[in-house]
Structure 1
Amino acid sequence: MSTEDLPLSGRRIALPESRELDLFADMLIKRGADVLRCPLVSIHDAPDPEPVRQWMQALIAQPFDQLILLTGEGLRRMVSLAEREGGSLRDDFVAALAPISKLTRGPKPGAALRKLGLKADRVAVAPTTEGVIDTLKGENLRGQRIGVQLYGSDPNVRLIEFLRGAGAEVSTVSPYIYADDVEDTQVVQLIDALLAAEVDAIAFTSATQVRRLFQIARRREGGEPQLLSALSRLTVAAVGPVVGDELVAYGVQVNLMPESSFFMKPLVRELVRELGNPASASTLED
């Protein structure tokens, strides 16, 4: 198949991705797209590992009645910290997790559990904070000890207030933080490309990317209104409802999003369906 026959040939797609930028870009390039990369954020271990270590040791000493995992990244970071500590911390932590009733916000924490030989007992009815709350609303939580692995450094006041209001004793942990990983000039260059209509689409894979993009846009002449106007002329893709809700909160219309499986590969499929050449769109589905 020639390059011209690929489903996304002639399309330019902006990717404000970081952790898996190369993987995401390669999937689109394989389908003929020209990719504009701008890694907006990166993820780092919590600056002070001691609270994370203490939380894990508390879980081992007296396992929670329930554990809420909001991200797969958080669980992976805790396991990595335990491995660096050496000794039996990793094995003790995994063993203590096994009997705890585990609720995951979406599929990624479930995938992280499976790598440890564990599984989620329940998945939230929607991969959002509200989805977690709706899943728990009918339960008697009074007196329960509930651990919550947070999303980055977001304290998730809505969820914690709900749990404490229901009478639960809540213990939170933040195993990682988001950090701005590129010079502002690189983000400015991305915004310039959006304003100049040099791309056909932009694909967001985290809410943090959205916030960072608008943060930099506000510092420019024309600011947020110019960015909103530019995005209204593009195909805006979101990997899932958390990202989609963040975009909508900023006033951005989301044009496409996977229906149920909120990962990069389904997002690529949606981009092909929306932007691709119909004659070749099914050629590279995997």
Structure 2
Amino acid sequence: MSSTRDVRDLEGRRIGVPESRQLDLFADMIERRGAQAVRCPLVDIRDTPDEAHVGRWLDEVIEHGLDDMIWLTGEGVRRLRSFAERDTPERLTRLVERLDQARAITRGPKPGRELRALKLRSDLAATQPTTAGVIEALADMDLTGHRVGVQLYGTDPNRPLMDFLADKQAEIHAVAPYIYADEAETPQVLDFIDTIVAGQLDAVAFTSSPQIKRLYKVARANERADALTPALNGLCVAAVGPLVGERLEAEGVQVTLMPDSNYFMKPLVRAMVAHFNAASS
């Protein structure tokens, strides 16, 4: 059983938390360990405004089924579930029945977890939780004429995956059930950037790529980018998974830590605890 000392193993640490979707949950995790969460929710996740397109996609899948379904995010599974059950529970039941008949390909552990909540399975996991990992997992498979559903996210058309499926002569049925929207006002983001540049944080924990995009968009628009990158490289930068890590590295930011395999918030917190314990020993 953990002692009080063990539980508060982030005592005195100030950790930047740009998470939005589960901000309170994540902040509570680190605060219970003694840290001070410095919050700046950079993005919000909302249903796509093109609800008609999602409705048509659901009708198409329910009516004709799929051979394969590619799930890129857990959020996508949740949003499509929500869209389906808004009309009647029967619509969700029919969708789940159709999805159960398709081979499910998952990019990472999060969509797999959300599928299990629907009593569905992941039949094929990406070799790594990236688009490249999905493509590699499907590279040797004959998809000619297959009806392939693809759950996209945000406004990213994911051209590499779409081009790969087109080259495989698959019949592509793509749907993007949610978008990213700016949440924090620009002055809040600037205050957050200034806090980082002033060296007032011990760590920043990034949990999605759009957070980094928004942070640097504001920094560049306000001539802070040149100061932001070296400031981040002077503290602990935590990334929840490889996609987030790649986006940080593209900005010249060195990732200090990342969970080994389970790309969720609890493993991210444990990785930060291990990092700071090692630093203080």
TM-score by length of 1: 0.94
- The letter of the residue matching 2:210 is T
What's the offset of the Cα at 1:2? Answer: 6.4
Q: 171-180 vs 85-94, which deviates more?
A: 85-94
Residue 214 of structure 2, aligned match among 212, 215, 222: 212
Conserved 8 A contact 1:7-1:278: no
The total of aligned residue pairs comes to 279
Q: How far, CA to CA, are the matches of 2:256 and 2:278 in structure 1?
A: 18
Alignment partners' CA distance in 2, 1:82 and 1:227: 42
Q: Contact (CA 8 Å) 1:68, 1:104: kept in 2 or not?
A: yes
- Deviation of residue 151 (structure 1)? 2.1
Mapped to 1, the partners of 2:134 and 2:196 lie a distance apart of 35
Residues of 2 paired with 1:47 and 1:142: CA distance?
32
Alpha-carbon spacing, 1:170–1:40, altered in 2? closer, same or farther (3 Å) = same
Residue 226 of structure 2 is aligned to residue 225 of structure 1: yes
Asked if structure 1 preserves the Cα contact closer than 8 Å seen for 2:66 and 2:101, the reply is no
Partner of 1:284: none
Question: Do the aligned partners of residues 62 and 5 (structure 1) sit closer, same or farther apart at CA in structure 2, a change above 3 Å counting?
Answer: closer
Residues 167 and 230 (structure 1 numbering): CA distance in 2 closer, same or farther, change over 3 Å? same
Residue in 2 aligned with 1:259?
A: 260
Q: Is the partner of 2:94 in helix, strand or coil?
A: helix
- Which residue identity does 1:263 align to in structure 2? F
Unaligned runs of 5+ in 1: 282-286
> Deviation per CA, 1:106-141, whole angstroms, max 9, x where unpaired?
111111111111111111110000000000111112
Bigger RCO (CA 8 Å, 6+ sep): 1
SS at structure 2 position matched to 1:276: helix
1:207 touches 1:243 (CA, 8 Å); kept in 2?
yes
Query: How far off is 1:6 after superposition?
Result: 2.4
Equivalent-residue separation in structure 2 for 1:120 and 1:264 (angstroms): 21
Alignment check: 8 A CA contact 1:65 1:101 kept: yes
Match of 1:247 in 2: 248
Alpha-carbon separation, structure 2, partners of 1:26 and 1:133: 37
Q: Can you list the C-alpha shifts for 1:152-203, whole angstroms capped at 9, x where unaligned? A: 2211011000110121111100000011111111111100100100001000
Report the secondary structure of 2:45's partner residue. Answer: strand
State the superposition RMSD in angstroms.
1.7
Q: How many Å separate the matches in 2 of 1:23 and 1:29? A: 10
1:62-118, Cα deviation, whole Å (9 max, x unpaired): 111100000111111111112111262111111111110000001111111111111
Q: Does 1:100 align with 2:106?
A: no
Supply the distance in 2 between the matched residues of 1:3 and 1:35 (Cα, whole angstroms). 19
1:85 maps to which residue?
Answer: 87
Cα 1:5/1:127, change in 2 over 3 Å: closer
Runs of 4+ aligned residues of structure 1 deviating over 2 Å after TM superposition are: 1-6, 276-279
Kindly report which structure 2 residues correspond to 1:70-219, keeping only aligned pairs within 5 A, or say none: 70-86=72-88, 88-219=90-221
Alignment partners' CA distance in 2, 1:215 and 1:4: 39
How many percent of aligned residue pairs carry the same amino acid? 49
Distance 2:237 2:60 in 1: 43
CA distance in 1, matches of 2:53, 2:61: 12
Q: How far off its partner does 1:143 sit?
A: 1.6
Query: 2 CA distance for matches of 1:78 and 1:2?
Result: 42
